[in-house]
Each structure stands twice: as structure tokens, then as C-alpha cells.
Amino acid sequence: MGPESVLTRRALLSGGTFFGLTGLLAACGQQAANEAAGSTSSGAPSETAVATDASSASATPSPVITRGYSGGSKAPDGEYRKADEYGPAQNVPLPKARPQQYPETFAGLREMMRDWIKARNYGIQTGDMQYVRPYMLDTFKSDIEFLNSIEKLYKEGGWVIEGTSEYQAESDLMYDEEAKEYWVLTRRLWTYGLYIHPNGKMRKRTNTGNENETFMFRYRYKDGYWYLSEYRSNEELRKEGLIK
């Protein structure tokens, strides 16, 4: 089904606004306070495309860290255990093995986005990016670069505490006739991320406001599959008059 069969006007059916909010606003608590006590601003991956002004970091020397088990012990099979200062998350639920075919509608896009969010958050918690990569075209550069840096962090013996995100649609699904792409204004929802390196260096990034959190996510639809194509920054959106 091509765009001509589903697009009778520039704005498509909204059909609801949420892409996925399964892990929204996880509490930082005492664990976060303990983790932040030894953080440093150097050497950690950063989500510069999606969190710059809204992030903060502190610097204090830390000892070399040996990665062990979160919670201080190996979790029983099937028991999900979040990452902490002792080690990465355990038994993270697997995302879908591969992208699914969904209809060329906003409802179909939302289903793909839920799958992508789960695959992306799985990769951030495990360093395994094989499930998230097929959703993104090469033009989705900034997030691909960020996920590559997380993968490298895990391979070097580091890990991430929290750091996952959810995404919320802020507009109807729109179609760009010239580019043959769809787009949706999208808000990223997150709390904090602590990136731990095996040499003891850490960096904590905290969401302190709404700056740099709304983007234009662009998509292509081909052969029954939705693909993430590109996203544009707040500055670009303001120039185009899409946000204030």
C-alpha cells in the first residue's frame, strides 16, 4: 500500500500519542546518590545529539572498578535485575528478534516504535546492538554513533546504569511529498544515565529540563517495514517554525 492510498491530506490520523512508556521515570533513589559520588566528566560516551544543555556531570577521582553482578550476586535465571554499582543489568528481556511488518498508518508506526524502543533499551543495558540496528537507516547517524559508543563501552568492560529512554509523539503523522518520508515531532523522556568505565571513570548525565528533548523523527516506509531515517534538533525545528 503506497502513500497515495493512505494520504488524503498532509496530516494523518493521530490515533493516540504515546509510542511507549514502559520504563518512564524510574526512581534514582539512594543508588543514584551513591553512584554519583565518584563520577568524572572525562572519557564517557555522551548523547550529544539528544542531551546537551539538559545534562550535567561532576568530577571526582575513582578507583579501578571490576565488573561483577548487579545486586552483588548472579541473578536466578529469568529474574531481571537492573544495573548498579556492582555490575550491568542481568536477564534483560529480549526484544523481538527482527523488525516486523506493520501497516503504513500511525498505528503501524507506533508498533514499530515500541519494538525499536525495547531493542534500543536492551542494547543500552547489555551492549548488544544486534536487535536495534535493523530499524535504523545509515542516515540516522547521531543515534547510531551513540549506540556504537555504548557497545564499545561494554566490550571494554564497562556498563551503563539507567540510561534508557522512552519516546512520546507530540504531533500527528505528517508526510513530506518531496522527500517521500513521514515525520512526527517526538519527545524523549528519560531520567539519568551513569556510564561506568573499567578504569574507574564515570559520567552521570541527568535530565534537568525539557531543552533539547523534542525532535523531528523522520521515517521511510518500504515493503511493509518502517525505518528510522533521521532526526532534527530543536534549533532546526525553531527555524522551520515547528516549535517555539
How confident is the model at residue 214, as a pLDDT?
86
Cell triple for residue 56?
A: 550535567
Q: What is the CB neighbour count within 10 angstroms for residue 169?
A: 21
CA distance 164 to 156: 20
Comparison of pLDDT for 66 and 155, the residue scoring more: 155
Residues paired with 186 in a beta bridge: 169, 215
Residue 179: all three cell numbers together: 522527500
pLDDT at 120: 98
Per-residue pLDDT at 33 exceeds 50: no
Domain boundaries of the chain, sorted by first residue: 3-190+201-239
**Residue in 202, 207, 225 with CA at minimum distance from that of residue 51:** 207
- Distance between CA atoms of 1 and 19, rounded to whole angstroms? 23
In angstroms, rounded to a whole number, what is the distance separating the alpha carbons of residues 165 and 155?
22
Q: What is the pLDDT of residues 167-207, one digit of tens each?
A: 999 999 999 999 999 999 999 999 899 999 998 899 998 88
What pLDDT does residue 224 have? 97
pLDDT for position 227: 98
- Asked whether 55 and 36 are in contact (CB, 8 A), the reply is no
Q: Spell out the residues 6+ positions from residue 72 whose beta carbon is closer than 8 angstroms to its own.
A: 86
Neighbours of 108 (CB within 10 A): 20
Q: How far apart are CA 182 and CA 172, in angstroms?
A: 10
Question: What's the pLDDT tens digit per position in 91-148?
Answer: 999 999 999 999 999 999 999 999 999 999 999 999 999 999 999 999 999 999 999 9
Rounded Cα distance, 161 and 18, in Å? 25
**pLDDT for position 159:** 97
Q: From 55, 50, 217, 53, select the one nearest 142 (Cα to Cα).
A: 50
Q: Which residue has the higher pLDDT, 186 or 58?
A: 186
pLDDT, the chain, mean: 78
Note the pLDDT of residue 23: 31
Q: 27-34, long-range: CB within 8 Å, 24+ apart, which pairs? A: 28/162, 28/191, 28/192, 31/84, 31/85, 31/161, 32/161, 32/162, 32/192, 32/194, 32/204, 34/85
CB 10 within 8 A of CB 174: yes
DSSP 35-66: HHTT--SSS----TTT-STT------------
Burial 62-81 (b: 16+ CB within 10 A, else e): beebeeeebeeeeeeeeeeb
- pLDDT category at 59 given cuts 50, 70, 90 is very low
Q: Does residue 12 have a pLDDT over 70?
A: no
CB 206 within 8 A of CB 192: yes
Distances (CA, A) of 17 to 9, 113, 183, 187: 19, 12, 14, 11
153 — phi, psi (to 5°)?
A: -60, -45
Residue 32: pLDDT above 90?
A: no
